[in-house]
Structure 1
Amino acid sequence: MSNLIFIGGQKGGATKTTTAHLMCLGAILRGQPAAYVLTDPHRSLKPEGRPYGVMDGRDGNDLARIITASGSTKNGWLIVDGGGNRPDFDRAIAEQAHLTILPFRDSEEDVEAISRDLSAMPNAVALPSAWPTNKRAQDTAQKFIDALDQVFPGRVIRTPIFFVHSTLELVGKKLDSPSTPVRNAARRAYGILADRLEQHIR
């Protein structure tokens, strides 16, 4: 069975799509099969040049078939990008996923939104994403992780995915040869994912 990972959350701009692509690329770089599933009906499919599978789950029936088929796959990762602002959809997919990850950025608005999502999806975990790399900004941003972890103990991944300028190439029309910073970020993202899933299923 594939590891079914759902990258969800209501807030737009929280890096769900980038995080999902990073994790897929990271899996491939670690020698693991992976596929990205697009579910947002307002986005277009961009499979060209990607070393991982790209699947169209924008239609509910197609998405159901993809998830069902993943049950007969013996290994690898199926990473479903939830899009945004669809709380009922998020809850439905989260119930089927082996792990639901809710990326959030270092802002009060993101923390408020992610708090609502964590309450609505009791098995989900929050992931600090596109996190600042400047030491002073990191110190300020740490308060968001700490505050969220106080309210939802054990459900906040405390290892952030740091901001990388070139990650925009991941969501571009075509992905040829990812830059070294993107590859490093992808390996880190996959490592965070694999570690958390292992903790989650213990």
Structure 2
Amino acid sequence: MKGVAIVGKKGGVGKTSLSHLLALGSAWKGTPAYLMHTDDRKPISVNGRPYMFYDARNPQTLTTLISAAINQDGLCVIDSGGNRGEFDMWIAKSVDMVLIPVTPDPESVCIALEHMASLESHGAKNVRFLLNMVSSNKNEKNRDQELYFSKLPTEKVIGEIPKVSAIKRLREEDTNPFLTPPTNVNNASRKLYGIVIKELSKLECESIGV
């Protein structure tokens, strides 16, 4: 099983939404997905989602869950709030890849760069950036690239996810059984899964010298 942690010290960049989106995309592609909630906030209640969702705020619980799943097929997605230093650092060093979402604003870029440097200085490997909430307007997208995203090292950016307001539904409680999300959310979930799997495959090939 491969493990991906979605981390970030800045709130509002989409860590939890992207975690659920990735797990959803994995499920739609026929790969079992296990989403581990490690943020300090109480996890949402889910009902009938096509992926497993666990309350893993306790480090020992997370360790047990990862150990139990390590020899299974699928994708382990860890939603990490980035606000518990040692725990988050352990997570970053225990997964196959760390994703830091970055939105088009100067603070997000600055904090993401600092976080990457901190993670790598403490031994985390395969830290990557994911551009999130990217505008569908060509002029605005070009402007955001020039002003903000161009500050990120190109080799560390693995892809982008468009701004889709309905994605927020994934981080809301299921008061009724989970309904299939709208097409744009499903498309974004498959896109994110494809981005992640492509990078994981690339990293695996590099590790064995292919």
Do Structure 1 and Structure 2 share a fold, with TM-score over 0.5? Answer: yes
The answer to whether the Cα contact below 8 Å between 1:9 and 1:87 also exists between their aligned partners in 2 is no
Deviates more, 1:180-189 or 1:116-125: 116-125
1:30-109 matched pairs, under 5 angstroms? 30-73=29-72, 75-109=73-107
Residue aligned with 2:152, SS? helix
Which residue in the other structure is 1:133 paired with? Answer: 136
Match of 1:146 among 122, 126, 150: 150
Which residue in the other structure is 1:17 paired with? Answer: 16
Which residue in the other structure is 1:163 paired with? Answer: 163
The answer to whether the Cα contact below 8 Å between 1:38 and 1:45 also exists between their aligned partners in 2 is no
Q: Among the aligned pairs, what percent are the same residue?
A: 30
Gaps of 5+ in 1: none
1:90: Cα distance to partner? 2.3
User: What is the count of residue pairs matched by the alignment?
Assistant: 196
AA paired with 2:170?
L
Residue aligned with 2:134, SS? coil
Aligned equivalents of 2:88, 2:100: Cα separation in 1: 10
Residue aligned with 1:103, SS? strand
The answer to whether the Cα contact below 8 Å between 1:36 and 1:81 also exists between their aligned partners in 2 is yes
The answer to whether the Cα contact below 8 Å between 1:11 and 1:110 also exists between their aligned partners in 2 is yes
Where does structure 1 differ by over 4 angstroms across 4 or more consecutive aligned residues?
Answer: none
AA paired with 1:169?
R
Aligned equivalents of 1:171, 1:12: Cα separation in 2: 14
The answer to whether the Cα contact below 8 Å between 1:10 and 1:86 also exists between their aligned partners in 2 is no
AA paired with 2:113?
S
Aligned equivalents of 1:66, 1:196: Cα separation in 2: 24
1:72: Cα distance to partner? 2.4
CA distance 1:55–1:28, shift in 2 (3 Å): same
The C-alpha deviation readout for 1:34-80, integer Å capped at 9, x for no partner, is 0111111222232212110001101121111111112221x110100
Residue aligned with 1:130, SS? strand
1:106: Cα distance to partner? 0.5
Aligned equivalents of 1:44, 1:96: Cα separation in 2: 22
The answer to whether the Cα contact below 8 Å between 2:44 and 2:172 also exists between their aligned partners in 1 is no
TM-score of the pair, normalised by structure 1: 0.92
Match of 1:117 among 109, 112, 115: 115
Aligned equivalents of 1:62, 1:56: Cα separation in 2: 8
The answer to whether the Cα contact below 8 Å between 1:22 and 1:189 also exists between their aligned partners in 2 is yes
Gaps of 5+ in 2: 206-210
Which residue in the other structure is 1:180 paired with? Answer: 183
Q: CA RMSD in A?
A: 1.3
TM-score of the pair, normalised by structure 2: 0.89
Which residue in the other structure is 1:197 paired with? Answer: 200
